[in-house]
Each structure stands twice: as structure tokens, then as C-alpha cells.
């Protein structure tokens, strides 16, 4: 199964019932798989006129009780920025799959890229936090897509899955467990009396308000404007503080629970290679090659790019000399690593590592250099 197909299967396994999309290279593999499985799963789909409306339709569908997905790439993702903001403000769980391609604007559509990582975090106006996952194999495409739906329901936030066309086309065996064994977080529904429902009354413990579906008789109102507990617009700084502070903290304070990462050979390492997505495959090869040469290299992979594993990076930084951060861009996550290492370990960014996918030469060279 290819990465694209694994992603579509993961979405369906997580109970996704709606796909809104606009065809754009190179994300189409997911759409094709999803559509062919629609008839048997009862899911529905719509091909919208542009990416703006794709995400808008997805947000609408979510409020009817479905889990919803949109897939896109590059410029399409850039068009979605406004509605990521709306999704955050309405606290609408949904999953956005972004197949990153190389370069700014249209770049090189069929080449892998990593330039949208910061965009996923900062792309929409205003303050918010988001969750972004970066799988590195078809199996993980499946697992993390399921996880993405879980996280989005748990934290009521849009979740972005970042991968690239190389992973999308990569064929590998994917183990899809039985339906009973796939655990997906259930939506947090309100269960009290009908007239007592307040759309944005949050739980003190997790800061998450509970949802209801359209047509259940709650007659609720939600708005993208700054709103109070009732969901009605209130235009003052206190209410703005009430919204923004919580939107940010509902993820920031629980980052430890969200963060997923993979570590190898990090004990007694001198150099740690921090990577994510397709590059991490080469990073691991490079680390192992370096270890054969006697360099004490360690391997650290981000499965959740956002929130960033700040604490863990700081811990690792205390024990090593240098970080090597290979990325398919001109320095994005390397900046975060630099920040979190707090001056304890230097950071070497390896730019555009992926133009050499399949040959970890530049990463290995960077590791060797740190050892000198």
C-alpha cells in the first residue's frame, strides 16, 4: 500500500465521514482511494471550487457530527490559512493533510519539500496553537492519521498532517488492525439539559468545552468573532483575553501529553540528529553510518512537529555537544531546536537535505564535521 492509500485508509478507520477537496498535485492519491471506498463506508465527499471552500465545507460538515478531512498541497495549504483560524476559533476538530512539495509558491510539485512546517504553526493571523504530525512511513501514515483524528477530537482543534510526495508514493506493507482494535478518541459531547448548553463553557481540567451536533435542538450560535461562553460576540479586551489565552493554553499546557517522538542511540551521544518526515529515514541511515565510523551519534525524530518537544530537546542539549538538523528547507525547525537547546549545544542546520533523498551524504558529512 502506498502512503497516500494508507492515509485514506487511516482516515476511514478513524471514522472519517466527509472529505472536502480540490484536486491539486501531488495530493490526489489520497482522494482517489477515499472516493472509491465511499460507497461501502457511507462516507461522503465533495470536490469544491477552491481550497478555501474545501476547508470551509469541512468545518461545516464537522458540526453535523461527522469527522472530516481535507487534503491539499503547497499553495492549496496557503489558501486554507484563513479557515484554519476559523477552525481554531470555533474549536472545530478536523484534519488537514498537507503534502509538502519543494520550493516557494508552485516550486517543484513532484519533489518532496519541508517548507510548510512553520506555516502550519504560524500561517493564520492571530494567536493560536496547533497540532501537526509528521509520519515517515506508509505504516505511520496510517497510524498517525488515526492519531490525528483522535487528537483533533480530544483537543477540539484542527490537526495538520505534514508529509511529502516521496512518502506518498512509497509502497510498503501496512498493517491495518481490526476495527475493534483501533482506538479513536470520542467527541466530547454535552449531556446536560437543553437550555443549559453553553458552547464555550470549558472544563477547568482540560480547558475544552463540550460540543453538540446541529439538529439536536440546542439552538446554539457560534461565531468567528471573539465570543463569550454562549458563543455570542463580545467586543472587548477581557473577552479577547478569555478566548486567546485559553486557545493557546489548551494545547500549550498539555503539550507533554500530545508530544510523540522516537529516539535511538541517544544515550552518551555527542551529536544528536533531529529530523522529521521523509528526511528522518536518511537521518537514521546517516546516524548508523556515523556510529560505524565511531562517532557517537544519536537519532531523534519528531512525530509531532507541533507542539514542539521543548523540554526533551533541552534535556538532550545538556548531554551532547551539537545538534544536526537536516530539513528540506532553508532552516525552520532548526530555529526551534536552537531556541530549546538554550545555548547548551550548537545547532548545524543541513539545508535542503532531501534533494538527496536516498543518499544521506550531506547529513553524514554534517555529523562528521561536528566531530572534528
Partner 1 sequence: MKADPRDVFTGTYYIDGDVAMAYGALAAGCKFLGGYPITPSTEAAEAFARIAPRAGARFIQMEDELGSIASVLGASWAGQKAMTITSGPSYSLMMENISLGAAMEIPFIIINIQRAGPSTGVPTCTGQADVMQSRWGGNGDYEIIALAPDSPQEGFEFAVKAFNLAERYRCPVMLMSDECVGHMTEKVVVPEASKIDIEPRRFYKGPADAYLPYKRDPDLVSPIVKAGDGYGIYITGLSHDEKGHPVLESGNSYDLEHARALNRKSTDQYLVDKIRKNRDKIIEIQEENTEDADVVVVSYGISSRVAYRAVEQARQEGYKVGTLRLITVWPFPEERIRELAGRVKGFVVPEINYGQIVFEVDRCAEGRANVVLVPHGGASVHQPEDIYAAIRQLLESKKRYENVFEFRTILERKVFGGGMLKNRS
Partner 2 sequence: MDKILEALSKGIEKSGIGRKRVCLVTDILYDPEVLETLKIDLFHTSRGRTIPFATGMKLANPKLKPVVIMGDMATLGGNHFVHACRRNMDLLVICANHFVYRRVEGESASGDYDTVSYSPYLLFENPLNIPHIARSCGSVYTARWTALHTDELTRSISHGLKKKGLSVIDVISPPAELLDFYYRHSEIRNGEDTIHTGIEEEKKIIVGEFLERERPTFIESYNRQLEEVLGDQFVKIEV
Partner 3 sequence: METINTIQEQKHPMDDLLRMDRIPHIWCPGCGIGNAVSAFAEALRKLEYDLDKVVVVSGIGCTGRVAGYIKTDSFHTTHGRAIAFATGIKLGNPDLKVIVISGDGDLVSIGGNHFVHAARRNIDLTVICVNNFIYAMTGGQVAPTTPIPAYTTTSPFGNFEAPANVPQLAEAAGAVYVARWTALHMRRLADSIVEAFNRPGFSVVEVISPCAMYYSRINKLGDGLDMMQFYYNNSIIRHGESTDNLNIDYQKEIIVGKFVDRERPAFSESLNEWLRKDQVE
Which residues in 32-61 contact partner 1 (CB under 8 A)? 52
Q: Is the distance from CB of 355 to CB of 327 less than 8 angstroms? A: no
**Minimum distance between the CB of residue 73 and partner 2, rounded to whole angstroms?**
11
Site for partner 3 contains 61 (CB under 8 A) = yes
Q: Identify the DSSP state of 238.
A: H
Taking the least distance from each CB to partner 1, the nearer of 214 and 335 is: 335
Q: How many angstroms separate the CA atoms of 12 and 176, rounded?
A: 11
Alpha-carbon distance of 236 to 200, in angstroms, equals: 17
Q: Quick one: which of 65, 82, 188, 321 contacts partner 1 (CB under 8 A)? A: 82
Contact status, residue 3 vs residue 141, Cβ threshold 8 Å: yes
> Which of 78, 176, 182, 261: binder of partner 1 (CB under 8 A)?
78
Residue 177 C-beta: closest distance to partner 1, Å: 30
- In sequence order, the 6+-apart residues with CB closer than 8 A to the CB of 204 are none
If one asks whether residue 28 binds partner 2 (CB under 8 A), the answer comes out as yes
Q: How many residues bind partner 2 (CB under 8 A)?
A: 12
**Closer residue to partner 2, CB minimum distance, 51 or 140:** 51
Q: Which of residues 183-242 bind partner 3 (CB under 8 A)?
A: 213-225, 230, 232-233
Instruction: Look at the block and give the residue holding cell 494508507.
Output: 6
Min separation Cβ 20 and partner 3, Å: 6
Cβ atoms of 124 and 84 closer than 8 Å: yes
| 39 is an interface residue for partner 2 by CB under 8 A | no
List the single partner that 219 binds among partner 1, partner 2, partner 3, none, CB under 5 to 8 Å by kind: partner 3
The answer to whether residue 97 forms part of the interface with partner 2 (CB under 8 A) is no
Residue 49 interacts with partner 2 (CB under 8 A): yes or no: yes
Tell me how long the chain is. 372
Using the rule CB under 8 A, which residue among 2, 22, 139, 150 binds partner 2? 22
Among 104, 106, 219, 241, binds partner 2 (CB under 8 A): 106
* Residue 365 lies near partner 1 (rule: CB under 8 A): no
- Contact status: 81 vs partner 3 (CB under 8 A): no
* Least spacing, CB of residue 83 vs partner 1, in Å: 8
40 is a contact residue toward partner 3 (CB under 8 A)? yes
Going from the C-alpha of 151 to that of each of 126, 128, 130, the distances in angstroms are 22, 16, 11
DSSP string, 298-352: EEEEESEEES--HHHHHHHHHH-SEEEEE-SSSSSHHHHHHHHHTTSSEEEEETT
343 touching partner 1, by CB under 8 A: yes
Task: Order the strands of the 131-133 sheet from edge to edge.
Answer: 44-47, 16-21, 67-73, 94-99, 158-163, 131-133, 304-306
State how beta strands 297-302 and 271-275 pair.
parallel
Residues in contact with partner 1, shown as a per-residue x/- string from 163 to 202 under the rule CB under 8 A: ---x--x---------------------------------
| CB contact set of 283 (below 8 Å; sequence gap of 6+) | 273, 275, 299, 301, 326, 360, 363
Which residues have C-beta within 8 Å of that of residue 237, sequence separation ≥ 6?
A: none
Burial class (CB in 10 A: 0-12, 13-18, 19+), 302: buried
- For residue 23, the partner it binds in partner 2, partner 1, partner 3, none, with Cβ less than 5 to 8 A by kind, is partner 2
Positions that interact with partner 3 (CB under 8 A): 17-18, 20, 36, 38-40, 44, 46, 48-50, 52-54, 56-66, 68, 82-83, 85-86, 213-225, 230, 232-233
Amino acid at each position: 500500500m502506498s502512503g497516500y492509500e494508507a492515509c485514506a485508509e487511516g482516515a476511514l478507520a478513524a471514522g472519517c465521514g466527509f472529505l472536502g477537496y480540490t484536486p491539486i498535485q501531488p495530493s490526489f492519491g489520497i482522494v482517489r482511494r477515499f472516493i472509491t471506498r465511499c460507497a461501502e463506508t457511507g462516507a461522503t465527499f465533495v470536490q469544491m471550487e477552491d481550497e478555501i471552500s474545501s476547508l470551509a465545507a469541512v468545518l461545516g460538515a464537522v458540526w453535523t457530527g461527522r469527522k472530516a478531512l481535507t487534503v491539499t498541497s503547497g499553495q492549496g495549504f496557503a489558501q486554507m490559512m484563513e479557515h484554519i483560524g476559523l477552525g481554531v476559533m470555533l474549536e472545530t476538530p478536523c484534519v488537514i493533510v498537507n503534502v509538502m512539495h519543494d520550493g516557494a509558491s508552485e516550486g517543484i510539485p513532484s519533489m518532496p519539500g519541508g517548507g510548510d512546517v512553520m506555516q502550519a504553526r504560524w500561517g493564520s493571523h492571530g494567536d493560536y496553537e496547533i497540532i501537526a504530525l509528521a509520519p515517515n512511513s506508509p505504516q505511520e501514515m496510517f497510524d498517525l492519521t488515526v492519531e490525528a483524528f483522535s487528537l483533533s477530537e480530544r483537543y477540539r482543534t484542527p490537526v495538520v498532517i505534514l508529509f511529502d510526495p516521496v512518502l506518498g508514493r512509497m509502497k510498503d506493507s501496512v498493517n491495518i488492525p481490526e476495527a475493534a482494535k483501533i482506538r479513536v478518541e470520542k467527541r466530547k459531547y454535552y449531556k446536560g439539559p437543553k437550555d443549559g448548553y453553553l458552547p464555550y463553557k470549558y472544563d477547568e481540567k482540560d480547558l475544552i468545552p463540550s460540543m453538540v451536533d446541529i439538529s439536536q435542538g440546542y439552538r446554539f450560535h457560534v461565531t468567528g468573532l471573539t465570543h463569550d461562553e454562549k458563543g455570542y460576540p463580545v467586543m472587548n479586551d477581557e473577552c479577547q483575553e478569555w478566548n486567546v489565552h485559553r486557545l493557546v493554553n489548551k494545547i500549550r499546557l498539555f503539550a507533554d501529553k500530545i508530544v510523540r517522538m522516537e529516539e535511538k542511540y541517544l544515550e552518551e551521544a555527542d551529536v544528536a540528529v533531529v529530523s522529521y518526515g521523509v528526511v528522518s529515514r536518511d537521518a537514521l541511515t546517516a546516524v548508523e553510518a556515523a556510529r560505524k565510523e565511531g562517532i557517537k551519534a544519536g537519532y531523534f525524530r519528531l512525530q509531532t512537529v507541533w507542539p514542539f518537544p521543548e523540554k526533551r530537546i533541552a534535556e538532550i542539549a545538556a548531554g551532547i555537544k551539537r545538534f544536526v538538523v537536516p530539513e528540506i528547507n532553508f532552516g525552520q525547525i532548526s530555529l526551534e531546536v536552537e531556541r530549546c537547546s538554550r545555548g547548551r549545544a550548537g545547532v548545524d542546520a543541513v539545508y535542503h537535505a532531501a534533494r538527496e533523498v536516498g543518499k544521506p551524504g550531506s547529513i553524514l558529512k554534517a555529523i562528521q564535521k561536528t566531530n572534528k
